[in-house]
C-alpha cells in the first residue's frame, strides 16, 4: 500500500505491505458549512449560555478581542469582519476596540504577520498588537496560584472592560482541547504564569490529548472565571482546514458543546491498535515545540501502555523552536524533581523548557519516538532522547522496522495535530 502524508506544504509517500497495514486513521471528511457568513452569524445570534452581543449595552465600554496567533489555523480574517460590527452595534466606539494576538509563550508576531492574520482593512482601522509575556511593563498582577505563584497577564487586555476570545477547537496535550478560556490563560499570561500551567501538567504521566477536560483546564477556568472572559467565538475545522461548525457564547458552556461537536468532525474510532504509528505533524509544522502534538494524538492508537513505536513526519521549519534548553530537558529522566523545585520558586533554568521537556520525557519513556524530517538534526534529536531520519530515509526506516518485526501492524495519521483518536 502506497501511503501519502502531508509534509508541510508538500507530501511524502511510503510503501507499506498490505499484510502489515491497518489503514489511514483519518476522520471522515465533513464538508464545510455551506454559507460561512450565515454560520458565524447564526452562532453569534444564538450564543450558548449567555446573551447575544447585539442585545448587550456596551456603551462607553472598552473591548479587547483576543485572537489566537499564527500557530493556529483559525481563519481570523474571516471571523473579525462579522464580529466587530456587532461589537460596535452594541455601543462600542471603534477606537475603544483593540485586537490582541494571544501568544502564550510563542514568539512575537511580526507586523506583516499580524496584518495577514486580521486582514488589511481591519489592521488599518483597529489597534492590533501582540500579547506580552516577558516585559514587566506590559504585564499586570491579577492574583496568586494556590502555591503562591503570581498570575501575571497582558496589561493591554486587562485594562479593558470586556474580553472576547476568538479561537479554534482542536485537541490539546495539556488542556484536552484548545479554545474556550485558554485564549486568556495561558494565551495572554506572563511567561512565569504560562510556565506554571505547563509545570503542573507535566506532573501527570498520562496522555491528556482530547480529554473533555483536564485538571489543568479545571484550574485555568477557575482563574478565568474570577477575572472575566465575557464571550467566545470558536470554530471547528474539518480535515481540509475549512470551517465545519461554529459555537459562540459562554466560555465554558459553549466550549463544552463545541468539544462535543468537534469529536464528530475531527474524531476517528480506532478498531485495531498498532505496533507502529506513522503520523504527520500537519498543520503544526512550525517547529519541534509545536509538532510533537502529533505524537500525543497518535499514542491513542498504539498498543499497550508502554513500548511500541511512533514515527513523526514533520518539516519543523523553525527547528527546535524558541526554547534552547528544551532538548536537554526532554532527554533527562529526573524532570519531576526539577519541576517540583520550580513550582517552589527555585531557579533551575527556563521553566517552560523544563515543563514541556518533562512531559515529553515521560512520553519518550512510554514509547520509542522517531522524528523524520530535515528541519531538525540527528544531534538535536539525540539530546531529546529521540531517533532521527531525514525525509529521504523514511522508506528505509519503515523497511527496517518491519524487518525487526515482520508481523507488526502499522497505522498512519495525516493531520496529527488536529485529530482525536478514540476507542
pLDDT tens, 33-54? 999 999 999 999 999 999 999 9
Domain membership of residue 292 as a residue range? 2-25+270-422
In angstroms, rounded to a whole number, what is the distance separating the alpha carbons of residues 25 and 267? 9
Do 6 and 77 lie in one domain? The reply is: no
Domain boundary among 229, 250, 265: 265
Report, as an integer, the average pLDDT of 82-95.
Answer: 96
Mean pLDDT of 349-378: 94
Q: Are residues 47 and 177 in the same domain?
A: yes
Task: Specify whether 289 is located in the same domain as 313.
Answer: yes
CB 415 within 8 A of CB 26: yes
Q: Is 368 inside a domain boundary?
A: yes
**pLDDT confidence of 145, banded at 50, 70, 90?**
confident
User: How many Cβ atoms are within 10 Å of 378's Cβ, its own excluded?
Assistant: 12
In this predicted structure, the answer to whether residue 75 has a pLDDT above a threshold of 90 is: no
> Measuring CA to CA, which residue among 101, 110, 28 is closest to residue 67?
101
For 136, residues 6+ apart whose C-beta sits below 8 A from its C-beta are none
283 and 134 within one domain: no
> What percentage of the chain carries pLDDT values higher than 90?
75
Per-residue pLDDT, 50: 96
Question: Mean pLDDT across the stretch 231-241?
Answer: 92
State the pairing for strand pair 10-15/387-389.
Answer: unpaired
pLDDT above 90 for 143: no
Check whether residue 74 and residue 21 sit in a common domain: no
CA–CA gap between residue 64 and residue 227 (Å, rounded) = 14
Beta strands in 202-321 (DSSP E): 231-237, 243-249, 267-269, 276-280, 309-313
Among candidate residues 223, 230, 222, 220, the one with its CA nearest the CA of residue 251:
230
Position 186 scores a pLDDT of: 85
Of 254, 218, 209, 216, which is closest to residue 235 (Cα–Cα)? 254
Kindly report the pTM of this predicted structure.
0.85
Q: Is the pLDDT of residue 147 over 80?
A: no
pLDDT bracket for residue 405 (50, 70, 90): very high
Segment (H or E) for 3: strand 2-7
Distance CA 258, CA 181 (A): 13
Question: Tens digits of per-residue pLDDT, 292-347?
Answer: 999 999 999 999 988 999 999 999 999 999 889 999 999 999 999 999 998 888 88
Determine, yes or no, domain membership for 31: no
CA gap 67, 369 in Å, rounded: 33
Radius of gyration of the chain (CA): 21
40 lies in the same domain as 20: no
**Ranges 26-35, 127-136, 144-153, 315-324: which has the least confidence:** 144-153
CA gap 184, 164 in Å, rounded: 9
Establish whether the linkage from the previous residue to 315 is cis, with ω within 30° of 0.
no
The domain boundary, picked from 227, 246, 265, lies at: 265
Partners of 389 in the beta sheet? 372
Domain identity same for 279 and 168: no
Set of cell numbers at residue 313: 513526519
In a domain, 30, yes or no: no
**Domain-located, residue 150:** yes
Exposure of 266 in the CB half-sphere (CA atoms within 13 A): 31
Strands 10-15 and 139-144: unpaired
pLDDT of residue 322: 87
* Residue 393 to residue 305: CA distance in whole angstroms: 28
Provide mean pLDDT across the span 341-357.
87
Q: How many domains does the chain have?
A: 2
User: Cis (ω within 30 of 0) for the bond into 228?
Assistant: no
The three cell numbers of residue 39 are 454560520
Strand partners, 128: 99
**243, 265, 287 - which closes a domain:** 265
CB 166 within 8 A of CB 233: yes
Q: Which domain CATH number covers 14? A: 3.90.226.30
Amino acid at each position: 500500500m502506497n501511503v501519502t502524508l502531508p509534509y508541510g506544504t508538500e507530501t511524502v509517500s511510503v510503501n507499506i505491505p498490505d499484510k502489515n497495514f491497518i489503514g489511514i486513521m483519518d476522520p471522515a471528511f465533513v464538508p464545510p458549512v455551506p454559507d460561512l457568513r450565515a454560520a458565524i452569524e447564526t452562532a453569534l445570534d444564538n450564543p450558548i449560555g449567555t446573551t447575544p452581543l447585539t442585545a448587550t449595552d456596551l456603551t462607553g465600554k472598552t473591548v479587547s478581542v483576543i485572537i489566537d496567533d499564527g500557530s493556529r489555523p483559525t481563519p481570523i480574517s474571516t471571523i473579525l469582519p462579522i464580529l466587530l460590527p456587532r461589537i460596535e452595534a452594541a455601543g462600542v466606539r471603534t477606537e475603544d476596540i483593540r485586537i490582541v494576538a494571544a501568544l502564550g509563550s510563542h514568539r512575537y508576531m511580526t507586523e506583516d504577520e499580524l496584518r495577514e492574520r486580521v486582514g488589511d482593512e481591519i489592521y488599518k482601522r483597529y489597534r492590533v498588537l501582540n500579547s506580552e509575556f516577558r516585559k514587566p511593563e506590559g504585564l499586570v498582577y491579577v492574583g496568586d496560584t494556590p502555591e503562591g505563584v503570581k498570575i501575571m497577564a497582558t496589561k493591554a487586555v486587562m485594562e479593558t472592560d470586556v474580553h472576547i476570545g476568538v479561537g479554534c477547537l482542536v485537541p490539546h496535550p495539556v488542556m484536552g482541547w484548545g479554545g474556550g478560556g485558554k485564549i486568556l490563560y495561558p494565551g495572554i499570561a506572563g511567561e512565569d504564569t504560562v510556565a506554571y500551567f505547563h509545570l503542573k501538567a507535566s506532573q501527570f504521566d498520562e496522555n491528556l490529548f482530547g480529554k473533555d477536560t483536564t485538571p489543568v483546564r479545571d484550574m485555568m477556568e477557575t482563574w478565568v472565571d474570577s477575572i472575566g472572559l465575557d464571550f467566545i467565538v470558536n470554530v471547528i475545522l474539518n480535515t481540509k482546514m475549512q470551517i465545519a461548525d461554529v459555537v459562540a457564547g459562554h466560555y465554558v458552556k459553549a466550549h463544552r458543546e463545541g468539544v462535543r461537536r468537534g469529536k464528530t468532525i475531527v474524531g476517528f474510532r480506532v478498531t485495531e491498535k498498532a505496533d507502529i504509528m506513522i503520523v504527520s505533524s500537519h498543520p503544526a509544522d512550525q517547529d519541534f515545540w509545536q509538532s510533537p502534538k502529533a505524537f500525543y494524538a497518535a499514542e491513542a492508537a498504539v498498543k499497550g501502555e508502554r513500548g511500541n513505536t511512533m514515527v513523526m513526519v514533520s518539516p519543523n521549519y523553525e527547528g527546535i523552536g524558541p526554547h534552547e534548553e528544551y532538548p536537554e530537558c526532554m532527554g533527562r529522566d529526573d524532570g519531576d524533581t526539577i519541576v517540583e523545585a520550580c513550582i517552589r520558586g527555585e531557579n533551575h533554568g527556563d521553566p517552560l523548557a523544563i515543563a514541556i521537556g518533562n512531559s515529553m520525557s515521560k512520553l519518550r519513556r512510554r514509547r520509542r519516538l522517531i522524528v523524520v524530517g530535515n528541519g531538525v538534526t540527528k544531534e538535536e534529536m539525540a539530546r531529546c532522547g529521540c531517533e532521527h531520519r531525514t525525509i529521504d530515509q523514511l522508506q528505509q526506516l519503515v523497511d527496517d522496522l518491519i524487518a525487526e518485526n515482520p508481523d507488526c501492524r502499522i497505522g498512519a495519521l495525516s493531520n496529527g495535530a488536529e485529530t482525536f483518536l478514540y476507542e
